[in-house]
């Protein structure tokens, strides 16, 4: 039995509550907040003399929980909000621009008939501010004439969509869809009923990225002519793998080393894969068959890859679909694969890259240690109120190596977006973009946009018919500059 009817005692009040021990304690605390108004960060919930954690239940405590059990909660509720002095302005009286500013949330995208795959992709890529700035500088208009340039028109249409999203609460990406259909006819496929067919969101992601790679150039820096040949996508999304190929059947054959470029990493899902890092690690070590010139036949080789260049933005595709011949569909793997809001790629890098990552990783560690020390000092001053942030703009270190714009100089990432799929095959179901916008998470379900919690994002790991993470987009972990931290030499 995992569900119990329990009581929460707080001050002089007692509340009845249903507790599901299959859920983490954070969910239980959220229920308490709904009843008492005491936010989870202010709660101290005790049972049998022990304090409940946020992430997992104490095994000894679990054995004692039964129907009628009483939990003691300590904590104070937030003060009631002060009545506003200014006159209310109703939403229906606002302009599109005023509505977008007041709501302070991402714009929604109208579904044009099974186009959620495109909407979810647009929303996820919108979390890359450098890309949107680069798009703003992109010159030109649509070339709907004899000099038609499909790649150019897609970039122009995407640029215009993002520009409209800055001033409107909802946007209709109709021109972008038309350009996509012209350049990639597979996306214009229709069903027997004459409606647009559902498409694979990661295929759409890949095609848009390739188009941007063709057209979106990085402006020259300091007159460096070499920079002219670089494009934004290669610099900010592109990484390099150093692959070593060793023949398993002939130990005397010398291993070969080669470099491979990538714009997206794959996480294959097998029975043993429970975590994202495991899936990535298995993908970088695989056994393949190839021709051996020494043996003059096909032989088994072990291919081991390490990352020699990390991009600032890391796109990861969880391989959830496989072709099922019996039903002639791309069936879905529903397995739960846990991912986190942060990602450390250090262990998957070459020794040479690891050495280069160390200085900035140390800065990050020093900054985190300083934050902990500051919090402890504030807690010790029981008679004083904790320091309040001044609201000044924070200053951050560059997240790229000085000689390699768009790279990652730490190997540390934060989750920026999750593109999910709900359904049983890639040609059906529904795609949604879950994005981080101004420090808050939002569910962008076509034109319906809602704020969600970190916990709701982590529940997108799969395991059932709920939304399953299909594409993850990680961005740079920014490191704040602090006066007390001395810069490391060479940085």
- Please identify every residue annotated as catalytic: 116, 430
Q: What is the DSSP letter of 442?
A: E
Q: Is the dihedral of CA 461, 463, 465, 470 positive or negative?
A: positive
Burial of 461 (C-beta count, 10 Å sphere; 0-12/13-18/19+): buried
Distance of CA 269 to the CA centre of its chain: 18
Backbone phi and psi for residue 255, each to the nearest 5 degrees, phi listed first: -70, 150
How are beta strands 170-171 and 108-109 bridged, if at all? Answer: parallel
Q: 482: phi > 0 → left, psi -120 to 50 → alpha, else beta; which?
A: beta
DSSP secondary structure string for all residues of 251-299:
TTSPPEEEEEEESSEEEE--TT--BHHHHHHHHTEEEEEEEETTTTEEE
CA angle, 479 as apex, 407 and 137 as ends, to 5°? 50
Distance of CA 208 to the CA centre of its chain: 18
Distance set, CA 264 to CA 235, 238, 294, 421 (Å): 13, 8, 34, 18
Q: Which residue has the tokens 């499909």?
A: 150
């Amino acid at each position: 039995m995992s569900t119990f009817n329990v009581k929460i005692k707080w001050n002089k009040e007692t509340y009845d509550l249903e507790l599901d021990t299959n859920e983490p304690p954070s969910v239980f605390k959220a229920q308490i907040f709904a009843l008492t108004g005491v936010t989870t960060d202010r709660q101290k919930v005790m049972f049998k003399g022990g304090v409940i954690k946020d992430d997992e239940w104490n095994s000894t405590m679990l054995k004692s929980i039964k129907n009628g059990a009483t939990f003691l909660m300590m904590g104070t509720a937030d003060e009631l909000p002060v009545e506003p002095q200014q006159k209310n302005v109703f939403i229906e009286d606002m302009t599109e621009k005023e509505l977008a500013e007041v709501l302070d949330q991402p714009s929604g995208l109208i579904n044009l008939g099974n186009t959620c795959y495109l909407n979810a992709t647009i929303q996820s890529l919108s979390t890359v501010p450098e890309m949107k700035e680069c798009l703003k500088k992109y010159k030109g208009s649509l070339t709907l004439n004899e000099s038609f340039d499909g790649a150019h028109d897609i970039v122009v249409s995407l640029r215009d969509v993002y520009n409209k999203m800055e001033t409107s609460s909802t946007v209709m990406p109709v021109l972008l869809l038309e350009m996509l259909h012209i350049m990639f006819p597979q996306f214009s496929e229709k069903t027997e009923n004459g409606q647009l067919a559902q498409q694979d969101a990661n295929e759409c992601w890949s095609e848009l990225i390739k188009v941007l790679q063709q057209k979106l150039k990085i402006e020259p820096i300091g007159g460096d002519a070499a920079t002219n040949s670089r494009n934004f996508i290669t610099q900010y999304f592109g990484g390099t793998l150093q692959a070593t190929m060793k023949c398993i059947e002939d130990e005397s054959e010398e291993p070969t080393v080669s470099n491979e470029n990538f714009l997206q990493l794959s996480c294959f899902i097998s029975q043993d894969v429970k975590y994202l890092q495991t899936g990535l690690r298995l993908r970088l070590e695989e056994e393949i068959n190839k021709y051996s010139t020494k043996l003059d036949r096909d032989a088994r080789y072990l291919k081991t890859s390490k990352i020699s260049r990390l991009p600032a933005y890391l796109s990861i595709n969880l391989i959830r679909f496989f072709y099922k011949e019996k039903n002639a569909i791309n069936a879905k793997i529903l397995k739960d694969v846990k991912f986190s809001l942060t990602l450390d790629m250090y262990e998957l890098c070459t020794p040479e890259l690891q050495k280069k990552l160390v200085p900035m990783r140390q800065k990050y560690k020093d900054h985190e240690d300083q934050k902990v020390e500051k919090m402890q000092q504030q807690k010790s001053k029981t008679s004083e109120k904790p320091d309040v942030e001044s609201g000044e703009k924070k200053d951050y270190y560059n997240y790229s190596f000085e000689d390699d714009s768009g790279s990652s100089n730490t190997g540390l990432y934060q989750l920026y977006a999750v593109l999910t799929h709900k359904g049983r095959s890639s040609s059906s179901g529904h795609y949604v973009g879950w994005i981080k916008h101004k420090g808050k998470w939002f569910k962008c379900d076509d034109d319906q946009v809602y704020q969600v919690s970190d916990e709701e994002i982590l529940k997108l790991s799969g395991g059932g018919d709920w939304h399953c993470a299909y594409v993850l987009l990680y961005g740079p972990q920014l490191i704040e500059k602090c006066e007390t931290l001395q810069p490391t030499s060479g940085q």
